[in-house]
Amino acid sequence: MATRLKLIEDTTCETAWTDGTSLGFNPQFIDSLSLPEIKGLWAHEVMHCACAHHVRRGTRDAVRWNIAGDMAINLILAASNVVLPKGALLDAQYKDKATEVIYTMIPQQESGSGGASGAGFGEVRDAASQDGKKPSPSDMAQQEQEWKVAITQAAQQARAAGKLPAGIDRMVKEIVHPKVDWKAVLRQFVETSSRNDYSWMAPNRRYIMQGLYLPSIISSELPEMIIAVDTSMSIRNDELAQFAAEISSILAGYQTTIHVVYCDARFQGSQTFSSEDLPITLESKGGGGTSFIPPFEWVQENGIMPACLIYLTDMKCCSFPSEPDFPVLWVSTIPVRQTPSFGEVIEMS
């Protein structure tokens, strides 16, 4: 897989970087490493490409995304007896976690630490087209597919030779058939977006069974939240039921108010829920085209500053509002083909 990357000597970078097409390196940094460490650095950068970190960032913070990617691949490489350069980010709590999940777990202040990448070495940059401009969604999808083919072929050859470590074998299967627990990401997003104090004195029991040691919220109160529901014809009733169950779970665990805003091409109605309304049921109101603007207008018109806004949609729309002053999570009911202009994205599966 490393032979797919074009080597570029780059004295402007601190260590090394890749954008899925090239592998840039600072020769002074390379000279400071042993041969095993150089191999480890190359493996690290190649795995960024194999995991499609260069095309999956979307609107996430670049430094924080790089840290999450490092955490995801370094544990696998270290467990596979790959020698990594000094300063490798290694944290056992992120073992076997998807990069998107790790991203939500990393404290936001960490994104300002370190160098350009926020990490001890290596950097993953966004993919670039041949003319140096930002590639289109179809170009990025093609790049991701090409790397999936490359890692599948490489894994087959290594497996046939008996040289495929178990950890990398599992990672290959995750890349080819990715599975992200959208429910866990949703709950973690809600908690990290809330303006409450946390305590490490007692772990959050909600995540212990998933192998996550996270702080618990001192207060059980959360600021009011907005749930926007795309009621165009493509949202199925079973998907609405799944989403309603997760909203009920949030209301059962915290004292908060949730405003549900229904819209297709325009505002179609709203409901307000608290824990006294459990279990809740979502209604499909409307059924026309789609615009992402009405829910944000409703929030502004009602003078609400929510902890966050979560949008259930099929993402089949190009009409985005201006970026708001609160966190936004897009929960897509189908594989994402279009990156929103702001917010984080997870796929419901």
Q: Over 90: is that where the pLDDT of 142 sits?
A: no
CA torsion sign for 38, 40, 45, 46 is: positive
Label residue 116 by pLDDT band (50, 70, 90): very low
> With contact defined as beta carbons under 8 Å apart, do 232 and 286 qualify?
yes
Q: Taking all residues of the chain, what is their mean pLDDT, rounded to a whole number?
A: 81
pLDDT tens digits, residue range 23-46? 999 999 999 999 999 999 999 999
Which is it for strands 198-203 and 215-217: parallel, antiparallel or unpaired? Answer: antiparallel
pLDDT in tens, 201-256: 455 555 555 555 555 555 556 788 999 998 876 677 888 888 888 888 888 877 78
Query: Which sign does the torsion angle of CA 91, 124, 39, 172 carry?
Result: positive
Top pLDDT among 305 and 134 is at 305
The residue ranking higher by pLDDT, 267 or 170, is: 267
> Residue 285 pLDDT > 90, yes or no?
no
Q: Of 27-41, 64-78, 187-201, which gets the smallest average pLDDT?
A: 187-201
**Is the confidence at residue 113, as pLDDT, over 50?**
no
| pLDDT tier, 12 (very low <50, low <70, confident <90, very high otherwise) | very high
pLDDT for the residue 219: 53
Contacts of residue 51, defined as CB under 8 A and 6 or more positions apart, other chains included, come to 69, 72, 73, 99, 171, 175
State the pairing for strand pair 16-18/22-25: antiparallel
* pLDDT band at residue 144 using 50, 70 and 90 as cut-offs: confident
**Lowest mean pLDDT, pick from 166-170, 195-199, 247-251:** 195-199
Report the predicted TM-score, pTM, of the whole model to 2 decimal places: 0.54
pLDDT of residue 32: 94
Q: How confident is the model at residue 272 (pLDDT cuts 50, 70, 90)?
A: very high
Position 304 scores a pLDDT of 93
Instruction: State residue 37 phi and psi, 5-degree precision.
Output: -70, -35
Q: In this predicted model, which residue has the larger pLDDT, 211 or 164?
A: 164
Comparing 60-69, 95-104, 120-129, 231-240, the range with the smallest average pLDDT is 231-240
